[in-house]
Structure 1
Amino acid sequence: EMISLGTAQSRAGNEFRLLKVMDSKGNELHLITNRFDLSADEIAELYKSRWAIELFFKWLKQHLTIKKFYAQSEQGVHNQVYIAMIVYCLHVLSQLNTNSSRTYLQISRLLKAAPWKSAHLWLRKIAGKAVP
């Protein structure tokens, strides 16, 4: 279906294509595109792929606590992501190795609270064991 966007005074100069597709849960999605060279299925797959990328970045922000990228170069951004992933994995390993019932967030906060204390004291505290 072809549509125009905007009001009569500020209408977009181009025509767009309205697609109605079903998501994996059976919900109808309305997608607007200016791509006339692709089928509805191809547009739906592109949207699905883009949504997966958005979810990945949401996970990065939530779990790796990357709020912004500090580097200007591609290698610098890669390094920041690698470092954040290493920190995340170390926190998860701390949780697993101590059989802690604390969440990742609680462990992360404990480790950030006093980085000058010796690691074995914190790991024992995380595990819920008494510290000698």
Structure 2
Amino acid sequence: MKIIDSSTLPLNLTHYKWAKFRQTKAGVKLHLRLVFMDKDTVYPEKAVITTAKEHDRNQLEVLVDDQEAMYVFDRGYVDYERFDRMTDDGYFFVSRLKKNAVIREVYTFSLPDDCHVLSDKMVYIGTTQNRTENVFRLLEVMDTKGNLLRFITNRFDLKPEEISDIYRSRWAIELFFKWLKQHVEIKHFYGMSETAIQHQIFLALITYCLHVLIQLKMKSKKSLLRITRWLKRALWNQLMIDCENLMGEPVHNLPFVVFALV
């Protein structure tokens, strides 16, 4: 299973005019494909960096290239023509349908009494002028806040609960973006060129992957946040030791020592 989504990273328009996407704002967008190694471990498999004005749908075909995978993405990628093309080419997906989407019901599947899915149907999507050529599967479920969600997929061989659970797993990429922004200092950039921005983002992704490798090597159930704290402490302690060896005395005020060395 592979999850596709994007995250916009804001920039100062004064310093990053090449990334302008609104009258007073600039930014870049990280288009990402996240892969499940197991139910608790994910890693970024493919990334594309564009300016923030790039629409998510334009990168869907770039990130979908494996017929053995199941792709999961949100409403921002809804494109009926592309859904038809993906189905014809043998790619499987689950997405969330927009509220105003027009559907034409073909068949309704029966559901067991204990199923949390409200309905399971075969449908065509779109109006008469812009309708899909293929029949898709539409499921309706209720989230924890009482909102009605409609999932669209071209998989008919899975149980309705499995389709619902697959889409819910998309939350993993939201947690990934949150971790990336909070713990890898990706919100502040040190260069102003497009290349510098891309390098820093890719370094952040590499940092995350290294954390995952450490977690796997340790065979530990510790969270990535705990591992991050351990690594920072280890690096800080080593810097203290190196400074003490260089100065020949205990270091009580590290910033002062670093300043003196400079």
Higher helix proportion, which one?
Answer: 1
Highest relative contact order (Cα 8 Å, sep 6+), 1 or 2? 2
Q: TM-score, normalised by structure 2?
A: 0.28
Higher strand proportion, which one?
Answer: 2
